[in-house]
Chain A
Amino acid sequence: MAKKMPETPMLDQLESGPWPSFVTNLKRLAQTDDKQYADRMKDLLGQLEYSYKNIKGYWKGGTVGVRGYGGGVIPRFSEVADKFPLSAEFHTLRIMPSPGYHYSTEALRKLCDVWEEHGTGLIALHGQSGDIMMQGCSTEQVQKAFDALNEYGFDMGGAGPCLRSSQSCVGAARCEFSCYDEGRALRTIINNQIDDLHRPSLPYKFKFKFSGCPNDCADAIHRSDGAVIGTWKDDIRVNQQEFKKYVSERGRKDIIDNIVTRCPTHAMSLHDDDTIEVDNKSCVRCMHCINVLPKALRPGKVRGCAILLGGKHTLQIGDLMGIPVVPFMRLETDEDYEKLKEFASRIVEFFAENALEHERFGEMLERIGLANVVEGLGLEVDPNMVVNPRSNPYVRMDDWDDQAAKWNQRKVVAAE
């Protein structure tokens, strides 16, 4: 006889209301009595209700993995297994999706089939790490589940002190703002360093994220150690006919209030004939005007990315945003992507050599200083890296002439 559904009076209250309910999803799995996972999901629901009642979590970590890899499985053992024995082991497999989260229904159905056979049928699309979260595996089934997914073409994501799974915006696949091939950049960097992802041996985690333009839909600047954010170097492309059309549709007041005066560097000027003038030398490529008037204004044609290092969440010294150590890198040719790949390896190598244990890149940057990191990475200092130059004299500057000569030399080379 099938095991009885647990009483879940608290969780039941999360089934009402218009938004889709995760509790309904969990219950449906628990009630599919002809499947191997139904009874495990009943105990899982029991434990979750117990958490809701006691306002406390009951999972602890451990060590579970697959042959050949050092990470990627998040082990979970229940602390209340005496009450809920069937969900005593409830591990997650982090599986890497494609950049931009594209799926054929065949691939999605494959995930479902594997998870019905080896797991619980519970999948999160997607975790905060960017992975497909295959949740609820027993220790014994982990290898079999991974083998089935791996044979189909999926690979394990990262967990622990390693290069982590990555994320990108939809980008070139469906966005006119895309300034480089995000999917290609992501796969080039991550797959080149896949050993660092599967076998944790870095001081701490390192995340790359990829956004095609400064709108940063992948939240890269704050949520990754290495943010690759699309931008362009030449002028915004203006279609004056389309611009005039926008003015006639939206009215001049709207264009002045919501486009011209919202430009952060006052780089726009509306002419009396309703055409627009952009002061491209002052433009910071924020995207606002392009976002609002996409038919009239477009990113330039000399496209590529900025690379910002050091973003992270609170632990340990506080939240940090990335800093553009590479203000612009052209991304068009095979050689450009090769350069990006090499630079990404250099970043991770520098991190491995210089960070302390459990120190994120941004914290290391704070400890050893931006100028030192920039030079350590073989880059040159650039005014785009600062809001303003230093405002205190606490610095030893007896090599001023040499440093100034470096800058002047660069200007000469650039002019040639």
Chain B
Amino acid sequence: MAEARQPIESGVPDPFPWMHPALRKNYGMWKYHDRPRTGVLHHVAESGDEVWTVKAGTCRQLDVFTIRKLCDIADEYCSGFIRFTTRSNAEFMVTDEKKVAPLIERLKKDGFPVGGTGASISQLAHTQGWLHCDIPGTDASGVVKAVMDSLYDDFVNERFPAKVKINTLCCEINCGGHGDIDINVQHTKPPVINHDLVHKICERPTVIARCPVAAIRPAVVNGLPSLEVDEKKCMCCGACYPPCPPMQINDPVNTKIAIWIGGKNSNARSKPTFHKLVISGLPNNPPRWPEVSAAVKKILEAYRKDGRPYERVGEWVERIGWARFFALTKLPFTRHHIDDWRWARGTWNTSAHLRF
């Protein structure tokens, strides 16, 4: 018998053989950049070399035919090199300015929108959803497609006060990040437990330890070892569901969508911030989640009108105050907006700084 093949533990690949020659040559020696138009970055190196980058949106879940189409374009215009951004945009680099316009035309013709630079909206970052995840409450791919359709003009034009980054998340607790706007699953009922399966599948102490509010305890149900949930304590986060699938948290009606705003990772101007709850209770409504797109649009329209240049969404609200935010957007402010988790006091107003 042939000897079993052992892996070549080569680790993270070297980027240089796969890097556009102009980027390789000027690595670490760039001087400045500007944006000649939406979707195009122009970088100038200390050496005087110039590179134009055209940024195009993709749908992230790509078939090999689409990837090969991107490769054909990169072969024709970009010496056979391409890169991607953390938000699944494809970036095409050229060293000849004359190639920019035909490249844009080609991308548009092949169905790739050009934009996502400066004060525009970038492609939504998204999680795996029903296509592949084992715990999803919704399908990020569908939400992203529907929301990007409705915000298409804001991808191909720079017309917000500042850049807008949106994330979607298919559960409450795991993947995803904090952006200017986040579209998250919010469960509203405790898990429904299948007591016949818990003793077969779940490591009970692990599940008990996983609960952030210690609401799960061991129990014997119908003569079988199982778990029970103190429903008064449970805040329906779904943390028990991954280690114990018989504790089903997803529900077609009671799994809702919530909208959070004002998150930011960049240190520019203000410090990085977490997102804050603004809307919950939106229906999980495939295939196009119209309520979600409408809510996002409403917030972004208020921001577009009222935000000042360079203010990210969170910085805009920081300036005008939450009272004014809820007035401008005509959204309800509820007791659920008042934090009661640890560190909550830091989110309460401990001053007489008041806005009317």
Contacts and interface: CB of A to CB of B under 8 A. Distances in A.
A138 interface: no
A288 B64 contact: no
A54 interface: yes
A67 B6 CA distance: 7
A13 B288 contact: yes
B9 A198 contact: yes
A139 interface: no
Interface in B8-32: 8-15, 17-20, 23-24, 27-28, 30-32
A211 to B, nearest CB: 9
Interface stretch (B73-81, B94-102, B216-224, B225-233): B73-81
Contact of A183 (B15, B128, B309): B15
Contacts of B109: none
A14 B142 contact: yes
A25 B268 contact: no
Interface stretch (A152-160, A269-277, A389-397): A152-160
Contact of A20 (B53, B57, B133, B136): B57
Contacts of B128: 124, 127
Interface string B176-214: 111000000000000000000000000000100110100
A150 interface: yes
A176 B27 CA distance: 10
A286 B7 contact: no
Where chain B touches its partner, the secondary structure class is: loop
B281 interface: no
B132 A153 contact: no
Interface string A117-129: 0000111111110
A244 interface: no
Contact of B61 (A11, A124, A170): A124
Interface in B62-76: 62-68, 70-71, 74-75
Nearest to A292: B310
Interface residues of B, number: 115
B270 A264 contact: yes
A124 B139 contact: no
A112 B268 CA distance: 39
Interface stretch (A317-325, A341-349, A378-386, A404-412): A317-325
Interface string A206-241: 000000001111111111000000000000000000
Contact of A26 (B19, B63, B155): B63
Nearest to A54: B252
Interface string A50-68: 0110111111110000111
Contact of A56 (B62, B88, B252, B272): B252
Given A154-B13, A174-B43, A20 B63 contact: no
B310 to A, nearest CB: 6
Nearest to B153: A18
Given A100-B83, A109-B71, A127-B128, A174 B135 contact: no
Contacts, number: 344
B342 A317 contact: yes
* Most chain B CB atoms below 10 A, which of A103, A135, A292, A357: A103
B130 A51 contact: yes
A112 B57 contact: no
A287 B33 contact: no
A361 interface: no
A102 B32 CA distance: 21
A104 B17 contact: yes
Contacts of A25: 59, 61-63, 65-66
Contacts of A165: 12
Question: Top 4 nearest A-B pairs by Cβ distance?
Answer: A17-B149, A191-B11, A55-B252, A214-B267
Given A14-B145, A60-B134, A116-B64, 17 more contacts: A17-B145, A59-B134, A98-B14, A100-B83, A125-B67, A126-B86, A155-B10, A155-B11, A174-B43, A175-B43, A176-B30, A221-B272, A222-B265, A257-B308, A288-B268, A292-B310, A318-B341
14 contacts: A14-B145, A25-B66, A52-B139, A52-B287, A57-B129, A57-B134, A76-B134, A102-B23, A123-B62, A176-B33, A176-B43, A198-B7, A257-B309, A319-B178
Interface of A: 10-11, 13-14, 16-23, 25-26, 28-29, 48, 51-52, 54-61, 66-69, 74, 76, 90, 92, 96-109, 111-112, 115-116, 121-128, 130, 135, 146-147, 150-151, 153-156, 165-167, 169-170, 172-176, 178, 181, 183, 186-187, 190-191, 194, 197-198, 214-223, 257-258, 262, 264, 284-288, 291-292, 294-295, 298, 313-319, 321, 357-358
